[in-house]
Amino acid sequence: MSQPFVELPSTLRASRRGKVAILTLARPEKRNALSDATVLGIERFFTSLPSDVCSVVIAADGDHFCAGLDLGEMAERDTLAGVRHSRMWHRAFEQVEFGPVPVVSALKGAVVGGGLELAAATHLRVAERSTFYALPEGMRGLFVGGGGSVRIPRLIGVARMADLMLTGRRYDADEGAALGLSQYVAEDGTGLDLAVDLATRIADNAPQTNYAIVQALPRIAEASPHEGYAMESMMAAIAQGTDDAKQRMQAFLDGRAQKVTER
């Protein structure tokens, strides 16, 4: 019997398909703009994920993934309150990026501002052809506050992010895939199915390898080469020393495991 999900605000909905959990942004009338309650709900979902969930898909109701911060909720804040608000977003999205399992996002329509910051915290991104990316903070007198200035330049570079923020430029789905904002482009209406298919394949991987990819790989990439090599050696030894790895390797040697082929 599947374990239950934590209670969520009305702007979020959780479901599952086997070992895959689906967290849906459920505020289509606001283009799934992120309220504080939604961001805190995302954090609560990932920190309370049932132990039998092996991967997660973040999806969205309606025509748009997420149009960003709910500007209607913006309140007068002093400097310290503004810092604390941004740090709350950081804390929540860190649970997506460095949580217990890999996360796939199913993108469509607007992936704008905070929506792009959320998408950038996921590990794989599937973009339907309707997807467009933008960072309109410059036009609003704002600056990214949900980790975008750290995560998005890793995907597309500082100059391209500056262009998005300075000029209001938009990238479409194909441009975004070419630059690294997504790894897959799907026809409209098919993105969620592809995201779930990918998440299902991921869920069948060895859990220790999935955990190492989510937790160690980004840190190795940011480390100096010497530190990276040391971390890689330790993670390789930890992964291959598990009973699961030994069983999987024996299955391969016995011809019982699927081989890598051209197609």
**Active-site residue 117, yes or no?**
yes
Task: List phi, psi (to 5°) of 114.
Answer: -60, -25
Using only C-alpha atoms, what is the Rg of the chain? 19
User: For residues 101 and 259, what is the distance between their CA atoms, to the nearest angstrom?
Assistant: 24
Q: Give me the catalytic one of 137, 187, 227, 262.
A: 137
Give yes or no for a contact between 44 and 82, defined as CB atoms under 8 angstroms apart: no
Catalytic residue, chosen from 7, 117, 222, 262, is 117
**Which of these, 25, 29, 30, lies nearest to 8 by C-alpha position?**
25
Q: Which residues contact 42 (CB under 8 A, 6 or more apart)?
A: 12, 23, 92, 93, 95, 96, 118
Distance, CA of 252 to chain centre:
31
| Percent of residues in the chain assigned helix, strand, coil, to nearest 5 | 50, 15, 35
Residues carrying an active site annotation? 117, 137
